[in-house]
Structure 1
Amino acid sequence: MEGIYKLDLKDIPLELKLLIFILNSDNEKDIYDELNSKLDIDWKLFLKLSFHHRVFPSIASKLKAIKANIVPEFVTSNLYNAYKNNTINMLYLLGETEYIFKLLKASHVPTIFLKGPSLAVDLYGDTSSRTSSDLDILVPFQQLEKAEEILIESGYIKDDYFETVLNDWKWRHHHLSFFHPEKKVKVEVHWRLHPGPSFEPSFEDLWNRKRKCRVSSVNILGKEDLFVFLVTHGARHGWSRLRWLIDIHKLLEQKVDWSKVVSLFHEYHSVSLAGHAVILSSVLLKTNIPLEMQAMSNNKKSKLLAQGALFYFKDMINLHDEPLAEEVAKYHRHYLFSQMSRPQKILFILSFFHPYPEDAAIFPLPKKFHYLYFPLRPFLWALRKRKKHAVV
């Protein structure tokens, strides 16, 4: 299981280890023997983990092929019902993907689809093997307002309003959310791949390297850009869902210009992100790692980050469940900072000197005087901290 890398897996629940074993194996007899040897499995936890990690489509398919009464019926029926519903949902989202793409194309808005059904087809070969709860599209920042107008005219409602001061939303945030009340579809319109401050490619570079999806006319990221995007996205979420790591596993097995990938990670100061993603994929999913990527993972920082990511696997942590427990929030802040390269850390620290919306909330000024928040920033930060401690 561990390939050329080593991780301490003692804190990983037995049920999650079984889940990973099933995901790794295509041999029905091996799966049967493994299931037959695990008499102390908490099947309710196994089911919860399947849904939490968004891997239930693959688990449902593999368990259905095992024609034996080893797994409780409530587990297999729940998994298979979810699998069928996901297949219908993904086909529905694929239709909406085409619809939105044609809408934006007709108005000359260049669009790249980042995830959703197009990613499922690209990595898994079909829409039913991966889950997706929304659609993510990337447009040039200059076309953001136009894309927003088009979606609203087609029945979508803007679902993302955030406070801002001195236009910090342009670089601190990276997408707007829209929801269609009748279609029950959520669309995230990105003008950046990730929240700032960060180093990332321009839209023009991504557009020049884009591809067409195999089963539709939509644009998707080039394979090399897709790998960098998926690694950075998964790392930002602590790899807290196995699905993100399986995406990496699937792409590592495809034909990709790995020399170009290495170059991109160096260009965007993310070598350690690539390194620890490769280690996790190798250890947990038995991925065969290309030589170029092995070289990126052979350093102490990548190994420490890979081991640190297992924190999110121990207790089924969901980073979208807010407010997070203080222990989890503190660990995640530290983990994100430890991922950064030195230039990223400098950029991140410098970003604290730019005013925050909270500064305007605690000390309102007319908009024409907002520039004063720069010299006032240290004092307002201290005041907010003082008030917070007073409340506690």
Structure 2
Amino acid sequence: MAHLARPKRAARGLLIESVKAIANQSELPSIPIDLEPYWVDCALFSGLGPLIAHKLLDVGTAVPAELADSIRPAAAMHLLHLAVLRIIRNALDAAGVRWLVFKGPAVAEQFYEAPSARTYSDLDILIHPADFERGLTALLQGPARLIDQNWFLISEREQGEITLAIGATVIDLHWHFFSSALTRSTFQLDICRTFDHACTTTLGGVEMTVLDTADTVIFLATHAVLSGGHRLKWMFDFHCAAASLNVPNDVIRKRIREYNVELLVSVMASRTAAFLGTDAPVEHGHHPWLALSRLASRAAPPESEFLNAYTARALFSATRTSTRNSVVQFVRNAVRLARTGSNRRSHVVDRSILHLPGGTEADRRRWLDMVASHG
């Protein structure tokens, strides 16, 4: 409704300022009483309710009931996922599989002051391509059940992940960061290198293998931009990981170049700097596409979905290895948007289609052989 647009826009701006203050360890902005309900709604909509609530508790400020109530389910979900992660660990370690956990609990435990300050809904597990079939078999013969069952589409699209579940917990089982075969061919990121860099840490009191901080920074940036770059939580994740880097700047810059994701990471670093006022050790360069993304950022601040406004997802998700390639992809995205009305990232399969049984054992075999060929 038109009469709600102004207070919701103001509340969105206050949320950005609030998260910026947390990122810079400065004082939170004062929230006018008439805007507080909209500010709370925007915080919850963005998944940042628990983060804001924790900060208010830390400084001894009264916490709106809805924000305070958001901490408990976030904490409960984290504990549930840690329990499932232990089950996964036992199954995969017993099978002698090389694997690691990323996103979700790894980010919450390593980079947030309290894990319950970060919301997430599923578990992302990366298995070395050479070990993927063995890992998948170990999980399906043990605690997990298969959600994605359309082997014809999985094989035809050369999916970079498959969905399982343990109880009510959804598991995205990856053999690559990029689910789309076209995206993988564009960036040619050697996923096996991430296992060379992997390290161990303690998650919920149990030792787990995770991405090292440099690869975490890179993955958070690539995932955010290819997903549309429209969420403030992604920017805060990126800031937290970048602030925790324990390697020289030239090391992460070299790795970004090796992974062929310079423009992706630069766009994320630029967008994060614009809204959170923090810098990452990334060489932005002088790409015209980067300049265009900065202009788009002004027209499409994060959480524009809260206002049903322009999010620029079609533009940010078009970022590729060069300005030329990005422009070509943006045109494709724009045509797709005009034809279908979908403003999602490019080349995303409707995952619900994969849940329906389809294909044959030959399709399944073809996909698993393709995965193994990358190991």
- Please give the range of the TM-score, normalised by the shorter of the 2 chains: 0.7 to 0.9
- CA apart distance, 1:66: 6.0
- Residue 341 of structure 1 corresponds to 322
- Does 2:45 correspond to 1:52? yes
- CA apart distance, 1:107: 0.4
Structural mapping, 1:243-392, within 5 Å: 243-254=233-244, 255-290=246-281, 293=282, 295-296=283-284, 298-309=286-297, 311=300, 313=302, 315-316=304-305, 332-341=313-322
Which one-letter code corresponds to 1:218 in the other structure? M
Question: What SS is found at the alignment partner of 1:13?
Answer: helix
Distance in 1, matches of 2:34 and 2:191, equals 51
Structural mapping, 1:52-201, within 5 Å: 52-65=45-58, 76-162=64-150, 164=152, 167-170=155-158, 173-180=159-166, 183-195=167-179, 196-197=181-182, 198=184, 199-201=187-189
- Residue 15 of structure 1 corresponds to 11
Which one-letter code corresponds to 1:25 in the other structure? A
Question: What SS is found at the alignment partner of 1:50?
Answer: helix
Question: What SS is found at the alignment partner of 1:54?
Answer: coil
CA contact (8 A) 2:15 2:39 kept: yes
Which one-letter code corresponds to 2:216 in the other structure? L
Structural mapping, 1:184-223, within 5 Å: 184-195=168-179, 196-197=181-182, 198=184, 199-215=187-203, 216-223=206-213
Question: What SS is found at the alignment partner of 2:171?
Answer: strand
- Residue 229 of structure 2 corresponds to 239
Distance in 2, matches of 1:94 and 1:23, equals 26
Question: What SS is found at the alignment partner of 1:193?
Answer: coil
Q: Which of 17, 21, 35 is matched with 2:30 structurally?
A: 35
Distance in 1, matches of 2:193 and 2:220, equals 17
Q: Which of 211, 215, 227 is matched with 2:217 structurally?
A: 227
- Does 2:26 correspond to 1:25? no
Structure 2: which 5+ residue stretches go unaligned? 1-5, 331-348, 350-359, 364-375
More moved, 279-288 vs 232-241: 279-288
CA contact (8 A) 1:91 1:127 kept: no
Which one-letter code corresponds to 1:50 in the other structure? A
- Residue 379 of structure 1 corresponds to none
Which one-letter code corresponds to 1:186 in the other structure? V
TM-score by length of 2: 0.73
CA contact (8 A) 1:175 1:190 kept: yes
CA contact (8 A) 1:159 1:179 kept: yes
Which one-letter code corresponds to 1:175 in the other structure? E
CA contact (8 A) 1:159 1:178 kept: yes
Specify which structure has the bigger relative contact order, considering alpha-carbon pairs within 8 angstroms and separated by 6 or more residues. 2
More moved, 336-345 vs 102-111: 336-345
CA contact (8 A) 2:190 2:259 kept: no
Which one-letter code corresponds to 1:35 in the other structure? S
- CA apart distance, 1:67: 5.5
- Work out which of the two has the higher radius of gyration on C-alpha atoms and give 1 or 2: 1
CA shift digits 1:100-122 (9 cap, x unpaired): 11210110111111122122112
Question: What SS is found at the alignment partner of 1:189?
Answer: strand
Distance in 2, matches of 1:148 and 1:242, equals 34
Q: CA RMSD in A?
A: 3.6
Distance in 1, matches of 2:114 and 2:58, equals 19
TM-score by length of 1: 0.70
CA contact (8 A) 1:269 1:343 kept: no
CA shift digits 1:127-162 (9 cap, x unpaired): 222122111011123333322222223342211234
Distance in 1, matches of 2:66 and 2:154, equals 50
- CA apart distance, 1:306: 3.6
- CA apart distance, 1:253: 1.2
CA contact (8 A) 1:245 1:281 kept: yes
Distance in 1, matches of 2:155 and 2:25, equals 56
- CA apart distance, 1:219: 0.7
Q: Relative to structure 1, is the Cα distance of residues 303 and 52 closer, same or farther in structure 2, using a 3 angstrom cutoff?
A: farther
Aligned length: 320
Q: Percent identity?
A: 19
Q: Relative to structure 1, is the Cα distance of residues 297 and 247 closer, same or farther in structure 2, using a 3 angstrom cutoff?
A: farther
Distance in 2, matches of 1:313 and 1:162, equals 35
Q: Relative to structure 1, is the Cα distance of residues 96 and 339 closer, same or farther in structure 2, using a 3 angstrom cutoff?
A: same
CA contact (8 A) 1:135 1:186 kept: yes
CA shift digits 1:326-348 (9 cap, x unpaired): x979x644543344426966998
Distance in 2, matches of 1:275 and 1:193, equals 18
